[in-house]
Amino acid sequence: MSSNEPRSNFLRTQIQSDLDQGVVTDVVTRFPPEPNGYLHIGHAKSITVNFGLAEQFGGRCHLRFDDTNPEKESQEFIDSIQEDVRWLGYTWSGEVRYASSYFEQLYQWALYLIDQGLAYVCDLSAEQAREYRGSLTEPGKDSPYRNRTIEENRALFEQMRAGAFADGSKVLRAKIDMASPNINLRDPILYRIRKAEHHQTGNAWPIYPTYDYAHGQEDAIEGISHSICTLEFEDHRPLYDWFIANLPVPSKPRQFEFARLNTSYTVTSKRKLKALVDEGAVAGWDDPRMPTIAGLRRRGYPAAAIRHFCEEVGTSRSDSVVDVAMLESAVRNHLNQHAARAMCVLDPLRLVITNVDASEQLTLANHPSDDSLGSRSVEFGAELWIDRDDFREEANKKYKRLVIGKRVRLRGAYVIEADACDKGPDGRIDVVYARLIEGTLGEDPADGVKPKGVIHWVSCATGKTATVRLYDRLFTEANPGKAEDVMAVVNPMSLRQLDTAVIEAAAAEAAPETVFQFEREGYFVADRFDHRPDAPVFNLTIGLRDTWSAQDG
């Protein structure tokens, strides 16, 4: 199998078998998010599975919003989800679909269940319903309203539809089996009274279907062949099948489950992600520290690297936690191949080269091994910025940077030797003085005294001041989802902002979302929203090396 071919998994095997045996003739999948938050890395896996399977088998994948809970949903989330799917590189079949488009059909099918004696209106309160439901070890008890007549149930349900009752006063339940060992089959709720304005239907509906009732019927309406869910819906599959079997639906979709993607140092609970936003631990759903797709995009993670990671993780039925370093490695490997190089000094220290009188233009390759990325011209002159960590007055032999009396090479330029430095009243070094060693542009010194290392630099004359945001992992714990209070395990050093960094002029001119390798520092992206040529803003995407593995060990 070539590296470009998708690896085999049980879902691909199942679909191929269904096609070979004529169980289905066309593969139709769907990605059905609820628009109550931004998508996260776990959703990226579901997107790659559903769209990828449709793509592999020449089928179609629908994007459908399961918008049955209007109080928690918004147009902002709908827009962001569409943007995320497009950015990951996928195109859905046809128009965007909504569960709310099927509300009338779902209502008519609910009346059908009532007419068949398979649904009833129940007046139990939520607390009473929990008591009647039983437990994992004890069967439930029949509701005292379970034996209402078909005529009474129909009349009550039509009144519910007309808005005659208060929120929470009644529900419509399926009549299945209160003694079933599967709690999902103990007369589940089909409709609740909820007089809330809906982002698509306004105030047209005072009742809303539950996800369990709506989902399978939406699949049937759309002709979905393989309804692929994560494992937490496995116990719901008998209910999914019960509705399909007992309603006059136009097709018979089947549900299959796979293990959701869980990564270390990550939370994917929308409730906890919302808490991080609401309590100000992050700057929004698309904060580059967030595991949302929008956050990963703003961090500079390439869509291709995320898709590769999801494919490498594989698709199985075994729940596990994937080390987030695997995602970071996929990002690092992709950017190493594709990101142009540039120089940025994060903590600037002025370097004066005393024997240089005039500036000159040097040509630097944009990538060490990809000529297609071209080259750029940078100005070299008597005054440069170097990083403060790259100079010491004296140091031991392990220090491979600039020391008084020692030599280093300036990246892509000449060898210099440090002679002296000036300090301010506080003892902090203000200026370093050095001499250029003649004839060392791309050559070793003629006197045989080689430089100890290589440091990066930016011209004082042409460099641009930039804001650089240094990001680290958002959580200090490998499994933050298990913390009693997720706020207690937020990493206080997850963001450090530098406002006096200096970058090459060409990098400042780059378009938003352009990623560079800032030589010797890491990979950085021009911020999607804040970056401007006259006020450049770069976010740290990822370091050149994994600095967490040693800590974890």
Measured CA to CA, the distance from residue 538 to residue 524 in angstroms comes to 6
363-372 b/e (C-beta count within 10 Å ≥ 16 → b): ebebbeeeee
Domain 270-340+466-552: give its CATH architecture: Beta Barrel (2.40)
496 sits in which H/E element? strand 495-503
Measured CA to CA, the distance from residue 546 to residue 396 in angstroms comes to 26
270 is catalytic: yes
Measured CA to CA, the distance from residue 54 to residue 146 in angstroms comes to 43
375 sits in which H/E element? strand 375-380
Pairing of strands 383-387, 340-342: unpaired
Measured CA to CA, the distance from residue 197 to residue 193 in angstroms comes to 12
Structure-block tokens of residue 178: 């209160």
- The structural domains of the chain, with segments of one domain joined by +, span 26-260, 270-340+466-552, 344-456
Cβ-contact 40, 291 below 8 angstroms: yes
Cβ-contact 81, 308 below 8 angstroms: no
Measured CA to CA, the distance from residue 529 to residue 455 in angstroms comes to 31
Measured CA to CA, the distance from residue 501 to residue 499 in angstroms comes to 6
- CATH topology classification for 344-456: Ribosomal Protein L25; Chain P (2.40.240)
Examine domains 26-260 and 270-340+466-552 and report if their fold is the same.
Answer: no
Q: Alpha carbon of 116 to those of 180, 192, 246, 496, 528: distances in Å? A: 20, 20, 9, 63, 56
Given 30, 133, 192, 270, the catalytic residue:
270
234 is catalytic: no
> What's the pLDDT at 470?
98
260 is catalytic: yes
355 φ, ψ to 5°? -105, 25
What DSSP letter does each residue of 401-458 carry, written as one string?
Answer: SEEBT-EEEETTS-EEEEEEEEE-TTS-EEEEEEEE-TT-SSS--TTS---S-EE--E
Given 12, 154, 194, 260, the catalytic residue:
260
> What's the pLDDT at 452?
86
Q: Is 191 helix (H, G, I), strand (E, B) or coil?
A: strand
Given 34, 379, 383, 477, the catalytic residue:
34
CATH 3.40.50.620 holds for 26-260: yes
> What's the pLDDT at 462?
97
Full pLDDT tens readout for the chain, 553 residues: 334 556 779 999 999 999 999 999 999 999 999 999 999 999 999 999 999 999 999 999 999 999 999 999 999 999 999 999 999 999 999 999 999 999 999 999 999 999 999 999 999 999 999 999 999 999 999 999 999 999 999 999 999 999 999 999 999 999 999 999 999 999 999 999 999 999 999 999 999 999 999 999 999 999 999 999 999 999 999 999 999 999 999 999 999 999 999 999 999 999 999 999 999 999 999 999 999 999 999 999 999 999 999 999 999 998 889 999 999 999 999 999 999 999 999 999 999 999 999 999 999 999 999 999 999 999 999 999 999 999 999 999 899 999 999 999 999 999 999 999 999 999 999 999 999 999 999 999 999 999 989 999 999 999 999 999 999 999 999 999 999 899 999 999 999 999 999 999 999 999 999 999 999 999 999 999 999 999 999 999 999 987 655 454 4
CA 141-143-148 angle, 5° bins = 140
Taken in order 249, 253, 255, 260, the sign of the CA dihedral is negative
397 φ, ψ to 5°? -70, -20
Structure-block tokens of residue 283: 């700057």
Cβ-contact 112, 249 below 8 angstroms: no
551 sits in which H/E element? helix 549-552
